[in-house]
Amino acid sequence: MNDTQYTKYLFDSVKKISFANPGVIRDTYGKGENLTHDFLIKEANKFTKDIIIDYGGNFLATYPGKLKKKIVIGSHLDSQKHGGNFDGLTGVIMGLVLIKFFFENNIRPKYSISVMGIRGEESCWFPYSYIGSKIAVGKFDKKLLDSLKRSDTKKSLSYHINKSGFNAKKVSKKQIKFDIKNFKFFIEPHIEQGPVLEKKKIPLGIVTGIRGSFRFRDAFCKGEYLHSGATPYDYRKDSVVAVSNLVNEMNIFWKAQLKKNKDLVITFGQFFTDNEEHSFAKSSGLVNFCIDVRSNSKNTLEYTKKNLIKKIKLIEKQTKTKFFLGKETNSEPALMDKKLIKKFQIYSKMISMKFETMASGAGHDASVFANHGIPSLMLFIRNKNGSHNPKEYMSIKNFEKVFKVLKGIIKDNYI
């Protein structure tokens, strides 16, 4: 099989074993993810015997180079429930096709090349992200092994790890099996989950950073339900006006930050009055809302939060309402390696491959490796119809364009 045929064969085979109409199901430490793991290891075995499976069930298949230091190409095996076939899987397949190329052409690259298949990245199975990559680097909090329950089976993470044939006890002791200190670079090829590359018809996205976030999922604003006809302006305590003002203010703030070249996205994804009490003829006494703020800069996140709180205080005064933000959840941003970004930009230009330099809005395993001190990079591949749904679609042609860059850069010892 040539590289194109082999790429198709890998995507089709994994689709078949994890097929669940519509789309695929590769459940974390469940049948779909386990079968995908077994199949890809069987394939990796064709090109190398150096395959290590760690206590959390991640695999690392290494094709030997002249040096022990390795370039690790990888991504996650799991998918969303009835998700698409390309999210995650694409990065692992690109790694496999790469070691196939070196094996069949009998080339010994400078660095060893490893393919990594990572467990449990999606937070829909267990309410937690990056389970596998955190286990791989020995950073998984042991309390979570029993406290995290899978959304469908209600069984614990440790139960599922053990049932899949791995070792939750060793995970709890933070024991690792991979030679992390020899990880020279971590590179994660991944479909783009937003519309930018597809709209611009560009095959490759070179990712500058993975956005971190802060979120208030259960915020609300309390005012007073007052007669719409009988209550004059000065006596209103209207929570709809208050939260609308906040949305507007934050939108203006966002635009101003973009003008200063800051990376930022702000979303109020939910906004609703109380079904039971709201009415056509009353100003509203309650608005529930949520806010999701993301940036690849910690400073920008902090600055935005400060501003959010300052604006809330002002609006509370102006509208005589009270805001309650509730519990905050957040994740750390991760910067991709500047030197790697530059090299990929220069190399792509050299071979006339069109690319876009961009931030990643969604979280990815590469953030765990980057925050662990391993120079990391993500490569986005043009993809249609977004992600986390059965319609996500990456063409093999676009896969091959990005593969051409990755293969060339390693083969020519450009990094």
Closest approach of Zn ion to the CB of residue 190, in Å: 6
Closest approach of Zn ion to the CB of residue 87, in Å: 4
- CA nearest 353: which of 203, 206, 189? 203
238: contact with Zn ion by CB under 5 A:
no
Q: Which residue has 């070179």 as its token pair?
A: 206
E strand or H helix at 71, and its extent? strand 67-76
**Residues 96 and 88 sit within 8 Å (Cβ to Cβ):** no
Closest approach of Zn ion to the CB of residue 362, in Å: 7
**Residues 206 and 379 sit within 8 Å (Cβ to Cβ):** yes
Residue 112 or 383 having the CB closest to Zn ion: 383
**Cα–Cα distance measured from residue 246 to residue 241, given in angstroms and rounded to the nearest whole number:** 9
Coil vs helix vs strand at 57: coil
Closest approach of Zn ion to the CB of residue 76, in Å: 6
Residue 65 or 117 having the CB closest to Zn ion: 117
**Residues 401 and 383 sit within 8 Å (Cβ to Cβ):** no
Residue 129 or 244 having the CB closest to Zn ion: 129
Q: Return all residues near 89 (Cβ < 8 A) that are at least 6 apart.
A: 11, 14, 26, 36, 75, 77, 79
Closest approach of Zn ion to the CB of residue 75, in Å: 7
Residue 86 or 102 having the CB closest to Zn ion: 86
Residue 30 or 88 having the CB closest to Zn ion: 88
Residue 74 or 223 having the CB closest to Zn ion: 74
Backbone φ, ψ for residue 17 (5° rounding): -75, -15
Per-residue binding letters, 75-114, with Zn ion (x by CB under 5 A): ------------xx--------------------------
Please tell me the count of residues contacting Zn ion according to CB under 5 A. Answer: 2
- Interface with Zn ion (CB under 5 A): 87-88
